[in-house]
Structures are given as structure tokens and as C-alpha cells.
Amino acid sequence: MAQALTPELSPGAESRLARNYTQDTQAYVAYLKGRYYWNQRTDEDLQRSLGFYRDALNHDPTYALAYVGLAETYSLLVWYSGQPPSETFPQTRAAATQALQIDSTLAEAHATLALVAWQYDRNAPAAERHFQRALALKPRYASAHHGYGQFLAL
């Protein structure tokens, strides 16, 4: 009965599910706290989330998802805390680029770079390439669909 209910996964999906981004428990816990505060979407909570992502990277400097968290948080500071794009978007780009240097298959990093290309660089072709790459890597990634839809609409 259990075998009949076991889903069949493609080799790509199986490897994504089995991926472990860090072996450091403290880094993982700090990352999860960063995600929690990132989702609150207030200036104070975004600042907290940055601290937790930095803490995660202090524990594991190769933790690509923590770099993605930094990038996503920097990109929101423009909207939620009024920080100038000239300060936050270069930090967004640097963190997302670092994440991709560690793991080039992170859809979240590509989607964040798409936002930088679109909203800061005003480079529509680069933005579209990054959005499309993000969606190719993770077809059900809602944030990439949302960003890409706004990009296409505008």
C-alpha cells in the first residue's frame, strides 16, 4: 500500500528535495529566523532579518540561501524603509551574485537579480533573462511569477 502511494519524482526534483544547503545547525536556525522577520515586512523586522542572515553566514560562509536572504532583504529596504536605491541595490546585487557563485541553480537569486536589472539598472533584457531563468529553475516560484508579471505589465 505504501509503495502505491509513494510519488515518483524526476531525477531533478529528487536531487532538489535532497539538497542540504548547510550542515551547520546554528546557521540554519539563524536563516529561519531571518526568513521569519523578512516576512513581517517592517523596517525594524527587515533590519532584524539582516542580522540573522549575517549570523548564519558567520556560522557558514558558504550558505547560499543566507546570501539570497540578504539580497531579498536589501531589495525590500527601498520600499519598506525608504533607503536610497543607490545604497541598497548594489548590496542586493552583491549578495545575489555571491549566492549564485555558490549555487548557480538558485531561482531566488535569479529573481532578485531580475529586480535589480529592472528597477535599478533599467536593463529590461537582463531582467527578462533572469526572470525566465528563475522560472525555468523553479516553475512554481510565486515571487518570480509575481515579479515577472509586474515587469511584463509595465
State the pTM of this model.
Answer: 0.87
For 57-113, the pLDDT digits (tens) are 999 999 999 999 999 999 999 999 999 999 999 999 999 999 999 999 999 999 999
Nearest to 55 by CA among 64, 66, 47: 66
Quick check: 110 and 68 in contact, CB under 8 A?
A: no
Host H or E run for residue 136: helix 124-137
Mean pLDDT of 46-60: 98
Cβ neighbours of 96 (radius 10 Å): 28
What are 1-25's pLDDT values in tens digits? 556 656 665 555 555 544 779 999 9
